[in-house]
Chains A and B, each alone.
Chain A
Amino acid sequence: MNPPKLADQLLKFFCSPHHLEEIQGDLQEEFAYQVKRIGERRARWRYWWDVLGFVLSFASKRMSKENSTTHRTNPIMFRNHFKIAWRNLTKDRQFTALNLVGLSTGLACTLLIYLWVKDELRMDKYNEKDEQLFQVMANHFHEDDVNTINHTPGLLADALAAEMPEVEHAVTVVPASWFSSKGIISVGETRLKAGGQFVGKDYFNVFTCPFLQGDKNSIFSDNNTVALSEELAIKLFGTTKDVLGKAVKWDHEEFSGTYRVGGVFANSPANSTEPFDILFNFNVFVVKRPGMESWGNSDPSTFLIVRKGTDLDRFNAKIRNYLQSKDKKQTAQLFTIQYSDKYLHGQFENGKQAGGRITYVKLFSIIAVFILLIACINFMNLSTAKASGRIKEVGIKKVVGALRSSLVFQYLGESLLMAFLSLVVAIFLLILLLPQFNFITGKNIRLEFDGTMLLSIVGITVLTGLIAGSYPALYLSGFNPTAVLKGKLKTSVGELLVRKGLVVFQFTVSILFIVSVLVVYRQIDYIQTKNLGYNRENIIHFEIPLEMDSVKLKSAEGFLAEIKTIPGVVNASSYYHNLTGDHGAISGFQWPGKPRGKDIEFSNLEVGYNFIETLGMELKDGRGFSNNPGSYNEIIFNEAAIKSMGLKDPIGKIVKFWDRERQIVGVVKNFNFESLYETVKPCFFQVYPVMPNIMVKMQGGTEQQTIARIQKVFEAHHQGLVFDYQFLDENYQTLYAAERRIGVLSRYFAGLTILISCLGLFGLAAFTAQRRQKEIGIRKVVGATVGNVALMLSMDFLKLLLIALVIAFPVIGWALNQWLHNFAYHVDLELGVFIIAGLSIIVITLLTVGYQAVKAALMNPVKSLRSE
C-alpha cells in the first residue's frame, strides 16, 4: 500500500532537497494513518490534496528563499543559464551569425509557406452552407477518353430541385469568368470594367452574399434590375446609399443595355475563386440565348444545397443518367462534388477527381518541412561540433552537482533562446518578403496575428528549438565528468556517424531541389514554346461592342475592313469566347454513317471570317471558309473530330446539329486550343462575318507603330471606349500561371535551401579544420603542400556528397517522372539534368569547404604546433 507515485514525483520536482525527507516522511505517515481511518481510495485523494498544498506553498515563497538549491526552477539558476547562453552567443560571433541566418531564413520560409498553404486551404470556403454546397459536373465520353466539365444544361437546376428530395436548393449560375472578358459599366462619364454574373432565383439560398442595401430578391423581380458590389457602387456613385433605383449602362456582348440598381452586396471575399462585381437575373441570359431552353446546350454551372445527412454515393448514382431521362440523345453522365473542394481537387481523370492544386499544397508543405529540417540540422551540427569547446563547462557543472536533467534543461533552453531570436529576425524578413511573395503567387496574403496564427508560429519555433537542441542537449549532458576534466574525451564513432548522416541528408535534399527546379523549368519552357498548331506571335486581340442588329454589324464589318488596310497589319479576324479558355460544347450531331446510340461532344468555336488564315492554322484537307455570306452553310472540323466520327473522305459531307445543316468544307490539323495538360479534343468551327473579339495579326518588328494606328481607327469608330488590347501569347502564358509560379517559387526555395545548407557546411568545415589544426601542422612540417592538405579536408565532404548523390537521383527521377506524366505533352528526363545538378552541387560544396580548407592549410605550422 503505497502513496501515489506521480504525486511523489511532483513533490520531488518542486520541493527543495533538504526538506524533502521530512515532508515525504510526514506525508507517508499521514497516508498510513488515513488509510486506516478512511480507506485507501480516499487516502490517496487526500495525499494528492496534501502534496498540492505543499507544491503551491513552495511556488508562492520560492522567490524569498535564502538557501540556494540546485533546482531547475530556481530563478538564480535561470539567470545563470541565461547568462551563460548569452556569453556563449557573443563569444563566437561568426558561429552565432551562421546559426542565426540559417535558422531565421529557414523559419521565414516555413512561415511564408505556412501562410500560403493556409490561404490555399481557405479558398472558396466562405459560404455558410459550405458542407452542403455541391456543384454538378458532367462526364462526356469520347472514343478513348472521358472529358469532365463543369457546364450543365440551364434547365438542370430547377429540374433537380423539383424532382430530387435530397436537393434543398439548386441554382443556375453563369459566372463572370465564363465570358472571355469583362463588361463595361457606366454612369454618366464614369466607365469601369466589371465582371457580371448571371444567377437563378435560388442563388442566395445557396451562396452567401450579404446585401448592404436593397432586397436580395429584387433582382429577380424583372430582367432589368441588377445588384452591384459595394466597391463598384462606391466607384460609380461615391456612396452605397441612395443608389437604389438609379440607372447604369452595361456594355457586354448581347447583354448590353440600361439596367436599374436594385441592391448593393458586400464585395466577393478574397478567398473566392470566382469574384464578380455585378449580379444579373439568369432570365436575362436566357432571353438573349434561347438555346438555354434545350437540354442539349451546356453552358451554365449548376450548384446544389444537398440536405444534411444525404448519402452522396447514392445521390450520385441517382443522378448519373438524369440527363438521359430528359433527353434521350444526351450521353453525358452527371455527378456532384463539393464546391469548396473543387479548387484544390479540380482535375479529373476518367471522370473521377484526381488531385489538382492540392499536389502543390502538399509539395510546398513538404518543402517547408525540409527547409526547417535542414536549418535544424545545421544548428544541431554546429552545436555538437562546438560542444567540444564546452566540455570543461559541463564537467565542472557535473562535479559541483548538476544533474543530467538540469543540463538537458539548460541546453534545450539555449536552443530555444536561439530559436526565438531567429523568430524575431524571421518576422522582420517575413514582413520584408511578403509583398514580393504576394507578387509571385498572385495572392494577397497579409500577416495577421490571430490566435491560431500566434499559436502556430510559437509552436513551430518551439518545435524548431526542441528539435535543433535535442541532440546537443542529450549529447553534451552525457559526458563523463572525470574523463572530461582529465581531457581524455574521444569523439565516439556513433557521434561521427550521426553528424555524417545529417550532412548526407542535407546534401540529398539540396540535390532533390536542384534537379526538380531544373526539370520544372525545362517543362515550363517547353510548354511555352511548343508548336500549338497555330501561330500566336504578333497577334493582339481586343473587344468591340457588338449587338445583333444589322446596322451595328455592318459598322463592325466596316471597322474590321478598315483595320485590314492599316500598314503593318497582315490579317484580321474575330471570334467569340476565349481561345485559351472556356467554350461551350454541343452534342447531338448527326453525320452520315453515325452509329446508333453514339454521341460526341464537340467544342464549338464560333469565329469570324479569316480566322483560320489569321492564326495560320494548317488545313489537312479541303479548304478554309469562303468568307462570304455563302459560308453560312459551311463547317470545318479538326482532325480529332473527324477521327472520332469515323468519317472517311469527309469533304462535302453534310452534318446536322440543332436544326442546322452544314457542309464540311475543310479539316484543320489538330491544334491545342486548351491547356497542354489535355490532349486535343474534337471541335468544329462555325463562321460569321464578325464577332465581338477582334484579332489582328501584325508584321513583326513594327508592332508598336501598328498598334498606335489600330488605336486611332478604334477610337474613331468607338467614341468614349478605351482601347484595351492584349497579346495572344500573353494569354497563353497565363494559362500556365500556376506552373510558372511553382517554377519561380521552387527556384527561390531551392536557392534558400542550398544557402542554408552551405552555411552549415561552412561552419562544419571551419570546425573540422580547427580540430585538426595540429594534424595539419605536423603534415606540413613533414612536407605536405597546401594543395595536399586542402584536398584532404575537402575529400571528407566530397565522399558524403557522393553518397547523397547515389541516394537522391533514383528518388527524384521517379518523382519527376510522375509529375511530368500529368502533362499530355512533356519533356523527357535527360541524363544532362542530373549531370548539371551533380556538378553544380559539387562546385558549390568545393567552394564552401575549400575556402576553409585552404585557410587551414595556409596556416603557419609553427603557430599551431607551439601553443599547447
Chain B
Amino acid sequence: MKRSYLGEFEEIVLLTVAVMEGGAYGVAITHEISEQTGRSVRLNQVHAALERLEDKGMLKSEMGEPTAERGGRRKRLFTVTAYGRRTLQEIQEVRVSFWARLLNPFKPATSL
C-alpha cells in the first residue's frame, strides 16, 4: 500500500470537503470545521492544507461563480478525487480493524 500519508488536520479538511459535497471552499470549510470540532481554525491554515491536498492529488478544484459578498470575486470549489476517497476509506478501515481488536472496549464512565 503505497500512498501519501495524511496529517490529522489534512484528514479533517479532506473529510469536510467530502461531507460538503461540491459546496466546499475556503471560508465554508473553515466555518464547518470550527463548528464541528470546536477548535479555532485560521483561514490560511485551511488554504495551505487544501493546496497540499491538491498537490497530492486527493482534491481537485475549479473556479465557481462570482458572488456579491465576495466583492465580485470567484470562489475555488473543491471536490474529493477518487484517490482521495480511497485514501479516506483505507484510513477508516485501518482504524475499524484496530477498534475491533480492542478487548475491552472503552465504555463511558457511569459512576465514580
Q: Does A57 contact B (CB under 8 A)?
A: yes
Nearest residue (CB) in A for B72 is A25
Q: Are A22 and B71 within 8 A (Cβ)?
A: no
Enumerate chain B residues within 8 angstroms of A25, measured Cβ to Cβ.
26, 66, 70-71, 73-75
Cβ distance B47 to chain A, nearest Cβ, rounded Å: 7
The B-contacting residues of A in range 2-52, CB under 8 angstroms, are: 21-30, 32-33, 50
Q: Are A50 and B42 within 8 A (Cβ)?
A: yes
The B-contacting residues of A in range 610-665, CB under 8 angstroms, are: none
The A-contacting residues of B in range 67-90, CB under 8 angstroms, are: 67, 69-71, 73-76
Enumerate chain A residues within 8 angstroms of B69, measured Cβ to Cβ.
28-29, 32
What are 28 A-B pairs with beta-carbon distances under 8 A?
Answer: A21-B73, A21-B74, A22-B26, A22-B63, A22-B73, A22-B74, A22-B75, A24-B71, A24-B73, A25-B26, A25-B71, A25-B73, A26-B26, A26-B43, A26-B75, A28-B69, A29-B27, A29-B69, A29-B70, A30-B30, A33-B27, A33-B31, A50-B42, A50-B43, A50-B44, A53-B44, A56-B44, A57-B47
Q: Does B48 contact A (CB under 8 A)?
A: yes
Q: Are A28 and B42 within 8 A (Cβ)?
A: no
State A378–B62 Cα separation when bound (angstroms): 55
Q: Does A54 contact B (CB under 8 A)?
A: yes
State A162–B71 Cα separation when bound (angstroms): 80
State A26–B74 Cα separation when bound (angstroms): 9
State A54–B44 Cα separation when bound (angstroms): 5
Enumerate chain A residues within 8 angstroms of B76, measured Cβ to Cβ.
22
Consensus secondary structure, chain A interface? helix
Cβ distance A58 to chain B, nearest Cβ, rounded Å: 9
State A32–B73 Cα separation when bound (angstroms): 14
Cβ distance B5 to chain A, nearest Cβ, rounded Å: 19
Question: In the complex, which of the residues B48, B67, B71, B74 contacts A57, with contact meaning CB atoms closer than 8 Å?
Answer: B48
Q: Which positions in B face A, CB cutoff 8 Å? A: 25-27, 30-31, 42-45, 47-48, 63, 66-67, 69-71, 73-76
State A57–B52 Cα separation when bound (angstroms): 13
State A61–B48 Cα separation when bound (angstroms): 10
Nearest residue (CB) in B for A26 is B26
Q: Are A23 and B70 within 8 A (Cβ)?
A: no
Q: Are A53 and B45 within 8 A (Cβ)?
A: yes
Interface 1/0 per residue, A821-846 and B, CB below 8 Å: 00000000000000000000000000
Q: Are A22 and B25 within 8 A (Cβ)?
A: yes
Nearest residue (CB) in A for B43 is A50
Question: In the complex, which of the residues A23, A32, A61 contacts B26, with contact meaning CB atoms closer than 8 Å?
Answer: A23
Enumerate chain B residues within 8 angstroms of A28, measured Cβ to Cβ.
69-71, 73
Interface 1/0 per residue, A111-154 and B, CB below 8 Å: 00000000000000000000000000000000000000000000
Beyond A22-B76, A25-B74, 20 extra complex contacts between A and B, CB < 8 Å: A21-B73, A21-B74, A22-B25, A23-B26, A23-B47, A24-B70, A25-B75, A26-B25, A26-B27, A28-B69, A29-B70, A30-B43, A32-B69, A33-B31, A53-B42, A53-B44, A54-B43, A54-B44, A56-B44, A61-B48
State A32–B68 Cα separation when bound (angstroms): 11
Enumerate chain B residues within 8 angstroms of A54, measured Cβ to Cβ.
43-44, 47
Enumerate chain B residues within 8 angstroms of A22, measured Cβ to Cβ.
25-26, 63, 73-76
Nearest residue (CB) in B for A3 is B71
Enumerate chain A residues within 8 angstroms of B73, measured Cβ to Cβ.
21-22, 24-25, 28
State A50–B30 Cα separation when bound (angstroms): 12
Q: Are B70 and A53 within 8 A (Cβ)?
A: no
State A21–B44 Cα separation when bound (angstroms): 14
Nearest residue (CB) in A for B42 is A53
Nearest residue (CB) in B for A28 is B71
State A61–B66 Cα separation when bound (angstroms): 28
State A57–B47 Cα separation when bound (angstroms): 10
State A21–B47 Cα separation when bound (angstroms): 13
Cβ distance B54 to chain A, nearest Cβ, rounded Å: 11
Enumerate chain B residues within 8 angstroms of A26, measured Cβ to Cβ.
25-27, 43, 47, 70, 75
State A25–B25 Cα separation when bound (angstroms): 10
Q: Are B70 and A57 within 8 A (Cβ)?
A: no
State A23–B31 Cα separation when bound (angstroms): 15
Cβ distance B86 to chain A, nearest Cβ, rounded Å: 25
Question: In the complex, which of the residues A32, A53, A61 contacts B43, with contact meaning CB atoms closer than 8 Å?
Answer: A53
State A424–B90 Cα separation when bound (angstroms): 62
State A33–B73 Cα separation when bound (angstroms): 16
The interface centre, meaning the residue of A26, A27, A53, A61 with most chain B CB atoms within 10 A of its CB, is: A26
Q: A22-B25, A22-B76, A26-B25 are in contact. Are A57 and B30 (CB under 8 A)?
A: no
State A841–B27 Cα separation when bound (angstroms): 72
Q: Are A30 and B27 within 8 A (Cβ)?
A: yes
Nearest residue (CB) in B for A66 is B55
Cβ distance A24 to chain B, nearest Cβ, rounded Å: 6
Interface pairs A-B: 3 shortest CB-CB? A25-B73, A26-B26, A25-B70
State A27–B27 Cα separation when bound (angstroms): 8
State A121–B26 Cα separation when bound (angstroms): 61
Cβ distance A607 to chain B, nearest Cβ, rounded Å: 91
Cβ distance A788 to chain B, nearest Cβ, rounded Å: 67
Enumerate chain A residues within 8 angstroms of B27, measured Cβ to Cβ.
26, 29-30, 33
